[in-house]
A and B are shown apart, each in its own frame.
Chain A
Amino acid sequence: MSRFKDEVLQEALELVKLYPEARSATIPLCHLAQSVDGYLAPDAIEHIAELTSTTPAEVHGTASFYDMIQLHPVGRYVVGVCTNIACMLQGGYELLEAVEETMGASVGETSEDSLFTVEEVECIALCDRAPCLHVNYRYFGPLDEEGVKRLKSDLIEGRLEDEVPSHGVISRIKRSAPELIPLEEIDELRLVEDEQRSSRMAQKGGGDA
C-alpha cells in the first residue's frame, strides 16, 4: 500500500547503510514497513527490493518465512494465544475460545472494527503464567475470560497505550551500529591472539611434561 516516504525513507536508507551488503537490510526494512502500515504491503515489498537490489519475489520469500512479518492487513492488535502443552493443561483452548468471542474474530481473522487479529501460536515461553497470550508480542497471563474482557477494555480505552503500541511497532529505541573496524585491523588482532594462544599452549604443554 505504501512505499517509504520522508523520514521513514531516510531511516530506511540508514538501515541499508548499516550493512556491507544491502541485501542484509531486508528484514529490518520489513519491520520498518510494518511499523508504518501494520503489515508488509506489496508496494513496500517492491520498494524494499529496490533498496536492497533484490527482487520483490525474494523479499516476499524472505518475509513469508517469518511469522512476525504479516503479509496481509491485520488489526491494530495481533493477539496470539498459546495452545502448547503447558498452556493447554491450564486451559489454553478455553482461553482461545474466550479471546475469539471477546475480540470478535476467529483464528486467522480480524475483527470487524479492524482492532483485533487472533492467532493461535506455539509456546511463547511464558509457561509460568499459563494460560497466556501476547498482544503485539507483549505478554499477558494467566488469563481467564474475565481477564480477557478486562484486557480488551484496557486496550480500547488506552490504558495500555504505553505498554502495547499498535502492531508493527516493535521498538521505540533507535539502535545504532558501532563504527566499522577495518578488515586489516581484524586480521592483525587475530594474528596477535593466535600467537598468544600458541605460546600459552606451548607453556601448558611444557608444564605437563
Chain B
Amino acid sequence: MSKEREEAISFVLDGRPIWARKGDPVIRAAEEAGTYIPRFCYHPRMKAVGMCRMCLVEIKGPRGFTLQPACFVQVSPDMEVITDSVAVRKAQDGVLEYLLANHPLDCPVCDKGGECPLQDQTLAHGPGESRYVEEKRHFAKPIEISSIVLLDRERCIQCGRCTRFAGEVVGKGLIDFAGRGANIEVAPAPGGTFDNYFSGNIIQICPVGALTSKSYRFKARPWDLEQTESTCTSCAMGCRVVLQSSQNEMTRVLGIDSDAINHSWLCDKGRFAFEATSSEDRVLAPYLRKNDNLVEVGWFEALTQVAKTLTAALEKVGPATVAAIGGGSISNEDAFAWAKLLKGYLSVDSLDCQPEGGVDPSLLLGGKIATFDEVVNSKLTLLLGADVEEEMPVLYLRLREALLAQTTSAVEIIERRTSLSTLVSSSLLIEADEVLSQIESIDLSALAGVKVKDLSDEQVVVVVGQADLLRSSSWRSGLVAKVLQRYPNAKILPLLQGANTMGAVQMGMSPGLLPGGRVIGKVPEDFPWPNPPKSLGRNAADVLSAAAADDIEIIFLLGPNPLSGFPDKSLVRQALERSSMVVAIDSHFGEWTEYVDVVLPLSGYGEYFGSITNAESRVLPLGQSLVPAGVSQKGWEIAVALAESIGYDLGFESESDIWEEIQAISKIHRGFSPSLLSTEVEGVVVPRSVKVHIAGRRVLDPVATPGISSVKRQAAPLSEPVAIYDFNPDGELVDSNDSSDSLDELSDVMKERPTASIASRKEPDKLRLHLARKLYGYGVEVASSPTLSSLVSKPKLRLSSESARVSSVEDGDVVRIISGDLSSGEFQLEVSNDVVPGVLVAEFVEGYELDKFGSLNGGVLVKVVKA
C-alpha cells in the first residue's frame, strides 16, 4: 500500500484537478476528494464487480464522455470525470427505478429503514415515483441461512456483497446466487447453511434489509440508537467496534474499518459477545457466603470482610498465602490498580494473568512484538502451534488475504492441519514433543520459498499460538527461543487468550514482574510503591496446586471467569474448595460461583470506559454505552475501595490519575497518554519508540460501516497521517530504544520457573491428548450470550489412520477417552490424516467433561475405546 501511496496522479473531477493514488478506483478517489458517488455493490475491502450500476459517472474517452461505473474504472492521469450531469442523473434515476421495481416498500417495518442506502440514495437520486404497476415478485420470508442470519429475498437487490464476502473474504462460498433473471436469489447449497465464524458481517454489509440479524430483528430503529466507539474484548485482536444501544440496553455491535486492525470485519463471537452484558447471570451487587449460602450484602460489608480476612492472613502467614488469578480481561487501568494494591502494598507476587499457561512474559516484554500489518507483510511468517481461525478469527481473514496476494509467505508447524494449511507455503505436521529437537534442522526459509540471502531477521515474524491448550508456556518459549537463535531480530505475535493479556503483563500482573517490565528485587529507590514483593511468587497453575495442598488461603479471581480456559478443572475445584477465602471480582455468576466466598460486582463490557492493549501491544480505547448494572463498579474502583478498607490510599480518583502513575513508572508507556486515543482511531502502539508502518488513512464507505467513526471520516481530505512518533530534524523516526534495559533481566527471573515435564509414550495404543482451542469453546461470552451459546457444537475427536488401527477404532465410531480411572463422554471419531500419528485431537468445548484430562504439565496419555 505504501508504494501505491507514493505514486500520486492528478485527474479532473467535475472540472477541478484532484490528486489521487494510482490504481484507486474513481469512486474512491472522488470520495477522498469529497464527492460521494452513490453505490451499492462497491465495498472498499472487496474487489469491485460493477454489478449494481448505481455508480455510473461520465468519463471522457476517445469517443467523448460515456457512462462508466466509477467503482470499476481506475483513475488515470488527466482523466476527466463528471459525476453530476443530466446523463448521470438520468442513469442513477433509471438504475434506482429498476432496483425498486421488485423491492418491497416495507421500509416502516424493515430493520434497515433509517440507515438504508437504498432508501437514502432513492431520496437523493431517485425518481420519486414509480411507473411500475405490476405485481412485485414474492418469496417466502424470511428464511434462515445460518443460525444467526435471516434472509428476506424480496428485499435483495443482487449486489452480491454477501456472496462475494463469503467467497472472497472468508474463502468459503457457502452462499451464491441461484436461479436466473427475476427468480434470482441468494441461497446456500440445498440442505446447507451459511454457518461460519464470520456470518454476521453480511448483515452489516448488506445495503438493504435483505440480511438481518436474528437477535437484532425488530428490536430498535437506527435513529434511536446511541453509538459509542469501543474495542472488542472477545480476543486479543482488539477489533475496532461501535456499540449501539437503546434505552440502556446494547442492541448490536458493528465493526469499524480500521486499517491497522480489523478492516471492518468482525467474527461472530465479537459481534454477539455484547449480549453477555445484559444476561441474567450478571452480578448486580456484592455477595458474601454466610452459612454456605451466597447472600447479597452491601459494598461496605463485603469489603470489610475481605479486608479483615486478608489482613489477618497476611499478618499470620505472610504474602505468600495470598494469590490472584486473572487480569487478562480487565482494562489497563484495572490491571494497574490491582497490581499496585497486591504487589505494591501487600507484597503479594503470586499474580498471574495467564492462568492457561499462555505465553511467557519475557517473550511479551523482551521480544519485539509484531503488529498485524507486519505479520501480513513479512517475508516469512512462522505459525508455531497456531490455529489462527480459532484463536484470532479476524487475523485469519487478514492472513488469508495476504497469503493469497502473496504479500507474505508462511510456514505452519503444528500437530494438526488448520484452515490455513492449504494456503501456507508449507504445513509441517510434527508431534509437539519432537518439534523442539527437530526445528533446528528444518530449513524454514526454503520451505517458504524465500531465498536466505533475501531474508533479513527483521522480516521474520513468529506467530506463537496456543492451539493445544495442554501445551505449557515453557514449551512455547523453548520453541520460540530456538527460532530466535536462528533469526535473532525476528518479531513475535503472540495469540494471547485474554483481550488485555498484553496490557496486564505490562502492568506487572505476572509473577516476578512490576509495571513496565521491571522485575522484583531490582527496584530503584525512588519507586513509588511502598512495599513491592521481595520473593518470586507462583504462577496460576502452581497457585492452584499449592491451594489444593492447603498452602494458599486467599485467592482473588480477577475479571470475568479467569479460569474459563484452564483445562484442568478438577485441580481448580480442589484448589477453590480448600482455600479459606475465594474472592471473585466478576461480572457474571458462572461455573465457579459455588466455590466462591465473596463476589464483588464488576462492570461489564460496554459499561465502563478505559483502555486495553491488544496482542500487538496497541493501546485501544473501551467505550461506555451503558450505565453499569446494579451497583457494579470498575475494576480499579474496587481495588481502591478494598485498599481503603485495609487502610491504604492508592491515590487514584480517576483514570487519568492512574495513567499519570503508569507513565511515571513504566518505560513502555512513556510518552503515551490516554488522550491520544481520542485522536488516534487505530490506537497507539507502545512502546512508542517502536517503528510502526503507518498506512495512509482510508476514507470509508458509509455503506460498509454505518458507525459514527466512518461518518466522521467519510469526507476527510486526502492527507498525510498525523505523526505521533518522534522525528529528528531530518524527518526520520527516532528510535529511542531505551525501553528494554530492565527487560534483559527478566529472563533470569523466568529461569527460576519450574519447567514442564513431558510424559513419554511407551505403550503404542496410548495417545497423547491435544485439546484444541475453539472459538466457541469457553469463556463468559459463550456461556452468557444467547446467540453464541446456541452456536456451541459438540466437540469432535480426530485421530490419524495409523493410530486408529493401533487402537482398533474406525472413522465414524462413537468412542470414549480413557485415562486410568477417568472416562469421558461419548464422541464421534473422525479418522483423518490431517493429524500427527500418536496424537488424539479433541476440540476443547466446556461442558463435555474433557477437562477431566486437563493438566498443564506436559502431554496427557489417553486411550480411545469404542463406546
Contact = CB atoms under 8 A, between A and B. Distances in A.
Contacts of B693: none
A45 interface: yes
Contact of B192 (A57, A62, A71): A57
Contacts of A206: none
B190 A60 contact: yes
Contacts of B172: 55
A56 B174 CA distance: 7
A57 B171 CA distance: 13
A57 B165 CA distance: 14
Contacts of A71: 190
Contacts of B167: 55, 58
Interface string B463-488: 00000000000000000000000000
B189 A55 contact: yes
B178 A55 contact: no
- Residue of A42, A56, A62 contacting most chain B CB atoms (<10 Å): A56
Contact of B177 (A45, A54, A55, A61): A61
B173 interface: yes
B600 interface: no
Contact of A57 (B174, B179, B180): B174
B789 to A, nearest CB: 27
Interface size class of A (residues with CB under 8 A): 10 to 19
Given A60-B178, A64-B178, A45 B189 contact: yes
A42 B191 contact: yes
Given A42-B190, A60-B187, A65 B176 contact: no
Contacts of A45: 189-190
B188 interface: yes
Nearest to A41: B190
A59 interface: yes
Interface in B145-180: 166-167, 172-180
A64 B180 CA distance: 7
Given A64-B178, A65-B179, A57 B191 contact: no
A62 B775 CA distance: 32
B192 to A, nearest CB: 6
B176 A61 contact: yes
Given A45-B189, A45-B190, A55-B189, A60 B176 contact: yes
Interface string A134-169: 000000000000000000000000000000000000
Contacts of B188: 57
A64 B173 contact: no
A62 B167 CA distance: 14
A57 B177 CA distance: 8
A64 B176 CA distance: 11
Nearest to A60: B189
A58 B191 contact: no
Contacts of B177: 61
A61 B189 CA distance: 8
A206 to B, nearest CB: 27
B135 to A, nearest CB: 20
Contacts of B180: 64-65
A59 B188 CA distance: 10
Contact of B179 (A49, A59, A64): A64
A42 B190 CA distance: 7
Nearest to B175: A57
Contacts, number: 48
Nearest to B145: A57
Contacts of B191: 42
Contacts of B174: 55, 57
Contact of A58 (B176, B179, B190): B176
Contacts of B176: 55, 57-58, 60-62
Contacts of A57: 166, 173-176, 187-189, 192
B178 A61 contact: yes
Contacts of A61: 176-178, 187
Given A64-B178, A64-B179, A54 B173 contact: yes
A176 to B, nearest CB: 31
Contacts of B187: 57, 60-61, 64
Given A64-B180, A65-B179, A65-B180, A55 B173 contact: yes
A64 B177 CA distance: 9
A65 B166 CA distance: 20
B145 to A, nearest CB: 10
Interface string A86-119: 0000000000000000000000000000000000
Interface in A20-55: 42, 45-46, 49, 54-55
Contacts of A62: 176
A59 B178 CA distance: 9
A18 B172 CA distance: 25
**Chain A CB within 10 A, most for which of B174, B189, B191:** B189
Contacts of A54: 173
A14 B377 CA distance: 39
A49 B191 CA distance: 14
Nearest to B181: A65
A54 B191 CA distance: 16
B179 A56 contact: no
A36 B191 CA distance: 21
Name the residue in B166, B174, B175, B176 with the highest tally of chain A Cβ atoms < 10 Å from its Cβ: B176
B191 to A, nearest CB: 6
Nearest to B190: A42
A56 B178 contact: no
A46 B191 CA distance: 11
A49 B190 CA distance: 13
Nearest to B191: A42
B175 to A, nearest CB: 5
Contacts of A58: 167, 173, 176
A92 B189 CA distance: 36
Nearest to B178: A64
Among A49, A54, A57, A65, find the residue whose CB has the most chain B CB atoms closer than 10 A.
A57
A201 to B, nearest CB: 20
A57 B179 CA distance: 12
A55 B179 CA distance: 16
Contacts of A56: 189-190, 192
Interface in B181-207: 187-192
A72 to B, nearest CB: 10
Nearest to A67: B180
Nearest to A66: B180
A80 to B, nearest CB: 17
B417 to A, nearest CB: 16
A71 B179 CA distance: 11
A155 B276 CA distance: 66
Nearest to B192: A56
Interface string B409-427: 0000000000000000000
Nearest to A64: B178
Question: Which one of A46, A49, A64 has the greatest number of beta carbons of chain B within 10 Å?
Answer: A64
A75 B166 CA distance: 36
A56 B179 CA distance: 15
A56 B172 CA distance: 10
A129 B859 CA distance: 79
A57 B146 CA distance: 13
Contacts of B178: 60-61, 64-65
A174 to B, nearest CB: 30
Contacts of B166: 57
Contacts of B175: 57
Interface of B: 166-167, 172-180, 187-192
26 contacts: A42-B189, A42-B190, A45-B189, A45-B190, A46-B189, A54-B173, A55-B173, A55-B174, A55-B176, A56-B190, A57-B174, A57-B175, A57-B176, A57-B187, A58-B167, A58-B173, A59-B189, A60-B176, A60-B187, A60-B189, A60-B190, A61-B176, A61-B178, A61-B187, A64-B187, A65-B179
Given A46-B189, A49-B189, 10 more contacts: A45-B189, A55-B167, A56-B192, A57-B189, A61-B177, A62-B176, A64-B180, A65-B178, A65-B179, A65-B180
The 6 A-B residue pairs with the shortest CB-CB distance, nearest first, are A56-B189, A61-B176, A64-B178, A57-B189, A55-B173, A57-B176
